[in-house]
Amino acid sequence: MSIYLRCCIGIWIVATGIIQIPATKAAESSDEAEFTRLEAVWNNAHLQGDADALDRLWAEELIVTVPKMPVMTRTDAVAFSRSGRMKFLRYETSDLRTRVYGDAAIVTGRLLRTRNVNGKDMSDDWRFIKVYVRREGRWQVVAWQASESAPPPGK
């Protein structure tokens, strides 16, 4: 093989690698932006008591598992949201991490929330995981699970 041909093949291999890296990074950035947007929709819907927005985010087969409450289906969660029995004064997520696997995605993070139930304010510090599926170009939550955050070291 001539030196010219080897050089051309080498340049092609390097160029192909360089071109693919930005495309992958762009897809990851796009996914992160979409799930950041969906988190904002989720959080604002809870703060505003917007059951319709939550209804759109939740897939038919939704399962919700959170501390000190029975496991809820989508029907249960929508009914609870529409009841107005719980009002949120704070609903903030942070430490978000997203992993996309084709038409499925997992979002993990921390949730700090303050809620009013029967005139009493209560605060929660939870770690959560949401499992999304993409159907017809639209992401919906199929599972949401939260657990109490671990206390800081030394406490």
* Domain CATH number, residue 98: 3.10.450.50
pLDDT attached to residue 127: 98
Neighbours of 137 (CB within 10 A): 6
Q: Examine the pLDDT at 20 and tell me if it is beyond 60.
A: no
What is the C-alpha separation between 47 and 42, in angstroms, rounded?
A: 9
Relative to beta strand 58-65, strand 138-148 is: parallel
Structure letter (DSSP) for residue 69: S
Number of domains in the chain: 1
What is the C-alpha separation between 32 and 100, in angstroms, rounded?
A: 9
Relative to beta strand 120-135, strand 138-148 is: antiparallel
pLDDT attached to residue 21: 45
Structure letter (DSSP) for residue 1: -
pLDDT tens profile 46-78: 999 999 999 999 999 999 999 999 999 999 999
94 in any annotated domain: yes
23 in any annotated domain: yes
pLDDT attached to residue 3: 59
106 in any annotated domain: yes
* N- to C-terminal Cα separation, the chain: 68
Pick from 148, 141, 155, 86: nearest CA to 111: 148
Segments forming the whole domain that contains residue 143 = 3-148
